[in-house]
Amino acid sequence: MGSITENLQKIKKSLPENVTLVAVSKTKPIVDLIEAYNSGHRIFGENKVQEMTEKWEQLPKDIQWHMIGHVQTNKVKYMAPFVSLIHGVESLKLLKEINKQAAKNDRIIHCLLQIHIAKEDTKFGFDAKEVTTIIETETFKSLQNIKVIGLMGMATFTKNKNQIEKEFQEIKNLFDSLKIKPETNNLKINTLSIGMSGDYRIAIKNGSTMVRVGSAIFGERNY
């Protein structure tokens, strides 16, 4: 495995132009993020609000911080001043809280709805029907300080490529059906966040526009 800079360059070179790379830096020390930053990277993903906030405080302010993990409603306020995209939105309750905290900060916070595609109960998310229902509710339409720009999904942790592909196709189909809906003030679907170190190539073949890659850039994590 190369250096962080080498890994980043190699991965970036392999990505189609329309695919955004989120460098997942969770558990990694600030020096690692600085190396990625110095090589030109600006989009980082974290899965814990507190860790992300601490890193945001210490690092240059032109970094875009993506929250990719499961979010508890009582933690939203800490990241509302700076978070650039929240990937893991899996309830209307959470969306309402993000809206409230975004309003307090005079911001519009971009969100992705997390879709449950894996055949594992440990992963969170809406099913396809719920999403279609929720975005039609008056409650959703009244949320002025959020903008839902797409979907996020995590495939089952498996070596079975066919299964991963099937799950990605499932979310891609939902993405396509939402993308053709008329744009509103808080809904404009253009981002499909699928693909991690082990499966981002499969995800790209299946329509990913945003990949979240951690260990292939920063090395394995020790929890």
Ligand X SMILES: *Cc1c(COP(=O)(O)O)cnc(C)c1O
Question: Hey, what are 167's tokens?
Answer: 């799950």
- Smaller CB distance to ligand X: residue 69 or 140? 69
* Nearest-angstrom CA–CA distance, 89 and 44: 18
* Nearest-angstrom CA–CA distance, 67 and 86: 5
- Interface of this chain with ligand X, residues 149 to 168, rule: CB under 6 A: 154
* Nearest-angstrom CA–CA distance, 36 and 5: 6
Q: What are phi and psi of 142, to 5 degrees?
A: -85, -10
Residues with Cβ within 8 Å of 134's Cβ and at least 6 positions away in sequence, in order, are 92, 113, 126, 140
Can you tell me which of 7, 25, 47, 208 binds ligand X, judged by CB under 6 A?
A: 47
Nearest distance from residue 30's CB to ligand X, in Å?
18
- Closest-by-Cβ residue to ligand X is 214
Alpha helices in 118-199 (DSSP H): 128-134, 138-141, 161-179
Size of the site for ligand X (CB under 6 A): 14
Question: Hey, what are 51's tokens?
Answer: 């860790």
Can you tell me which of 69, 125, 150, 153 binds ligand X, judged by CB under 6 A?
A: 69
Q: Please state, in angstroms and as integers, the Cα–Cα distance from residue 189 to each residue in 14, 29, 163, 179, 215, following that order.
A: 25, 34, 25, 5, 28
- Interface of this chain with ligand X, residues 72 to 131, rule: CB under 6 A: none
Q: Which stretch binds ligand X (CB under 6 A): 2-10, 74-82, 167-175, 194-202?
A: 194-202
* Residue 105: Cβ-neighbour burial (10 angstroms; 0-12, 13-18, 19+): middle
Q: Which stretch binds ligand X (CB under 6 A): 115-123, 137-145, 177-185, 192-200?
A: 192-200
Q: Which stretch binds ligand X (CB under 6 A): 10-18, 97-105, 135-143, 208-216?
A: 208-216
- Smaller CB distance to ligand X: residue 105 or 158? 158
* Nearest-angstrom CA–CA distance, 184 and 62: 28
Nearest distance from residue 118's CB to ligand X, in Å?
11
- Smaller CB distance to ligand X: residue 45 or 102? 45
Q: Contact between 189 and ligand X (CB under 6 A)?
A: no
Can you tell me which of 4, 19, 26, 41 binds ligand X, judged by CB under 6 A?
A: 26
Can you tell me which of 198, 201, 207, 219 binds ligand X, judged by CB under 6 A?
A: 198
| Chain residues in the site for ligand X (CB under 6 A) | 24, 26, 47, 68-69, 154, 196-198, 212-216
